[in-house]
Every structure is written in C-alpha cells, then in structure tokens.
C-alpha cells in the first residue's frame, strides 16, 4: 500500500471520528506541525500550544477536507493561521507601525548556502516577531506581500519593509556568525 493510500485511509477513518486513527494522524504529523509553528512563534510553549490547537481544528473540520487535494498544504495553512492568531494575541497591545522607508538589501548567497537549516532557524530567533512572521510567510511559505498584509492586518508596504529589515538583520547576524565561526 502506498503512502498516499494509507494517508487516505487514515483521513477517512478520522472523518468517521475514529479516535485511534486521529491519534495516529497526530503522531505522524506532530513533528511537522511543531516545526511550522516554531518558525512563527519564538516561545516554544506557544508553538506547542498552537500545534495542538491546530490538530483540534483539523479534527473538527476534517469532514470538509477534499481528498483530491494534498493533506499537508491544507494542514500547513491551518498551522500558519493558528500560529499567526497566537502572535496577534501576544501583540494585542502593541501597535503595528506603517513602515515606508525600505532600503534595498543585498545578501551574500554563497555565505547563506553554507548554512544549515538549523543555523538559519537559530539566526531567525533573533528577529522580532513581525520580521520573523513576514520572512517566513514570504520567503518560506511563498505568500505575496498583499496576502501577508491581509493575514497580519498591516499595509502591503509594511510587509515589504519588515522583509527588508529581516533580511538586513539576518545579514548582520550572518556576518557576526561568520566572524565567530572562523
């Protein structure tokens, strides 16, 4: 039986409310879920909570999942939205500023190519929450600045600026990292 067939059977069992199969789906995708959530939330406890809340949302809405689509992208969207909801709760009292001064940044791709995914994630922890969210949404998940603006309730121009500042900060961190790793 192929992986797609076994996943399809697992999803069908979850649609029928089979708790044992829901537990199997949870175990199969827990690492993936936590990995996505931790990219958006700096606090590991918040990421754990967002991942678990995402699974609850999945099990509540799995009946509406169209099996002609891939499960992972559908699930990733739930994970991202749940993580962003947690971020918004944390920033409830913070005011997002419209940032219009964007400075074009260049990156040294050869230095970045030498970094492992773990190194990049480690460097990203040093970004502020908004920069990290925009960087993840744009560079990793492929959303447009307009979509990011709608998701984060910020102007499109602010999305561009947060991305530019995130890249600038990562470049500075990368330079410092390169100096200390020699």
Average pLDDT, the chain: 83
What is the number of residues in the chain? 182
Domain boundaries, the chain: 3-90, 109-180
Rounded Cα distance, 19 and 26, in Å: 10
Average pLDDT, integer, range 57-85: 93
pLDDT at 92: 59
Say what the pTM is. 0.70
- CATH number, span 109-180: 1.10.10.10
Comparing 81-85, 102-106, 144-148, which segment has the lowest mean pLDDT?
A: 102-106
Q: What CATH class has 3-90?
A: mainly alpha
In this prediction, residue 174 has a pLDDT band, given cuts at 50, 70 and 90, of confident
Backbone angles phi, psi at 16, to 5 degrees: -80, -5
Q: Which residue has the higher pLDDT, 9 or 108?
A: 9
In this prediction, residue 93 has a pLDDT band, given cuts at 50, 70 and 90, of very low
pLDDT at 12: 93
Q: Tell me the per-residue pLDDT of 29-51, one tens digit each, with 9 for 90 and over.
A: 999 999 999 989 878 899 999 99
Task: Report the b/e string of 140-174 with b at 16+ CB within 10 A.
Answer: ebebebeebbebbebbeebbbbbbbbbbbbbbebb
In this prediction, residue 19 has a pLDDT band, given cuts at 50, 70 and 90, of very high
pLDDT at 101: 45
- 78's CB contacts (< 8 A; 6+ apart) are 54, 57, 58
pLDDT at 5: 85
* 103-86-133 Cα angle (round to 5): 20
């Amino acid at each position: 039986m192929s992986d797609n067939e076994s996943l399809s059977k697992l999803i069908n069992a979850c649609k029928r409310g089979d708790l044992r199969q829901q537990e199997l789906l949870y175990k199969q995708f827990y690492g993936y879920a936590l990995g996505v959530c931790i990219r958006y939330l700096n606090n590991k406890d918040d990421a754990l909570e967002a991942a678990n809340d995402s699974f609850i949302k999945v099990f509540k809405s799995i009946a509406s999942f169209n099996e002609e689509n891939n499960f992972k992208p559908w699930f990733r969207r739930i994970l991202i939205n749940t993580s962003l909801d947690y971020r918004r709760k944390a920033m409830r009292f913070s005011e997002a500023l419209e940032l219009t001064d964007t400075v074009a940044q260049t990156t040294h791709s050869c230095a970045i190519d030498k970094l492992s995914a773990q190194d990049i994630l480690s460097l990203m922890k040093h970004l502020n929450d908004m920069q990290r969210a925009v960087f993840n949404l744009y560079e990793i998940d492929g959303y447009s600045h307009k979509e990011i603006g709608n998701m984060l309730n910020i102007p499109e121009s602010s999305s561009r600026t947060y991305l530019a500042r995130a890249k600038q900060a990562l470049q500075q961190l990368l330079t410092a990292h390169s100096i200390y790793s020699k």
